[in-house]
Amino acid sequence: GNESVWDGLDGREDVYDDHDDPLLDDNTIKSRYDDEGICGTTPLKIWALSAWYETRHFFRTLWKHPVIIVVSLAVFGLVCGLGMWAVQSEREAYVKDRMDTAKFVARETADYFANEFRRSMVPLYALREAIQYSGYFDALPDAIGNYPANLEAENVAILGGDMTQRNISGICDTPEVLANWKSMVTKISDEHDLNGLIFRYRLWPKNVACLEFKGGQAMMDSGMDASYSPHPFWSQVVIDIQVDNWNGLHVFGPFAARLPTGEADVFCTHIPLWTSTTGENAFKDVVNVQGTDVQNVWGFTMLYLNWSEMKKRSNMYERFEDVNMEFELFREEEPRLGDVGPKGLPTKEMTKLAWSEQADKLNESNSVEVKTESLHGIWINRVGVVGGNGWNPEWWPTAVASVVVASFILMVLTATTMAKSYLHKDLVKRMLPKQAIRKLQ
């Protein structure tokens, strides 16, 4: 109630009677000091009992004055809310910056490869024009002839399947033909300055492997007749580019190949050559291509691109390592060239073009994707982070915990301060008469 010390003069209980405890009477304390001494355990017990009474007073005050609880919780909610808002804003800004960086690097890398890939195919177009308009090799198709002319063997086992072989000795190995082939390829390579990215060229008059250029040397090829060979890869190549009229460059890869410098991932690219459809050449050359008669077939030419070397020159792995991100560059669609490549290797993994060490951990939640059009179809570059926090900054869990702890501390301080204020008010009410308090107010 509103009792005071003055009311105690009427014989009422003292204000501190409710705190009486037999453990704290003078005799008990004195006897404990006598038994244990000033350095004994009694001071610790006194401190513990004092802490207990302070705690009990604190919670009794909270119970007696619920407004303290309400205000303290309000402080906790307000501080925690403002803190989380600030931390969340910083996190969102950080995540946006990281995702923008990922998109920028992904776009830049994909565009670089698409442009370099396109540039590396320019020599193939130049080679096609030079073959058609130089006149150096006009006599080769007629000299080779249609199947079965110059037939040497059938069902010859090679890597990836069997071939039908034509005898091209005396046709594709003459000094003049080899000299013209070397001169043409060397000039085109020097003009486009690809520094060894293109490491092999081949020429197929009448779809027969006649000439190749590699290691700086021109030489006669194998004599394989792609129009009649049952090889699953080469038969599909001529069907695509001559029967189905493939739109654009016919690109395959990347697949593993053994080069003088070691094993590397390579692309091979094919482009058809046609005879004129006007004048005396109109509908002159009819070639049976895997069972289908196709008019005006001259043959095709092709080149091989060292994809591993292109990736190395791009410094793409270092770039993604610098921004602490993983990546995976791949084609959007599966290759159309059956189940095996030119060496009989499976093609199902050939949609993957390049990837970092932990690319397999990328998923929709921790990565972004950027699409780029290339001569090889649609390329997708997936870039992201694979750490435990994902896009979130490393300080995110610590910041959240700090906000909660700080809010809790402020809540306790608020509750303690208000409890102390209400205790003082209660003490004043007990020490002074009501009339005196009203006069002081």
- In tens, the pLDDT along 282-301 reads 556 789 999 999 988 999 99
- pLDDT at residue 131 above 60? yes
- In tens, the pLDDT along 342-353 reads 655 555 556 788
**pLDDT value at position 428?**
67
**Inter-axis angle of helices 396-431 and 42-64, to 10 degrees?**
90
More confident call, 278 vs 133: 133
Tell me whether residue 262 is exposed, middle or buried, using C-beta atoms within 10 angstroms of its C-beta: 0 to 12, 13 to 18, 19 or more. exposed
Q: What whole-number distance in Å separates Cα of residue 24 and Cα of residue 26? A: 6
**pLDDT value at position 172?**
96
Return mean pLDDT, the chain.
Answer: 81
- In tens, the pLDDT along 161-216 reads 899 999 999 999 999 999 999 999 999 988 887 777 899 999 999 999 999 999 88
The Cβ-side half-sphere exposure at 6, using a 13 Å CA radius, reads 9
- pLDDT at residue 303 above 90? yes
How many angstroms separate the first and last alpha carbons of the chain?
20
**pLDDT value at position 205?**
95
Sequence-ordered list of residues with C-beta below 8 angstroms from that of 43, at least 6 positions apart, any chain: none
Q: Span 80-105, mean pLDDT?
A: 91
Tell me whether residue 363 is exposed, middle or buried, using C-beta atoms within 10 angstroms of its C-beta: 0 to 12, 13 to 18, 19 or more. exposed
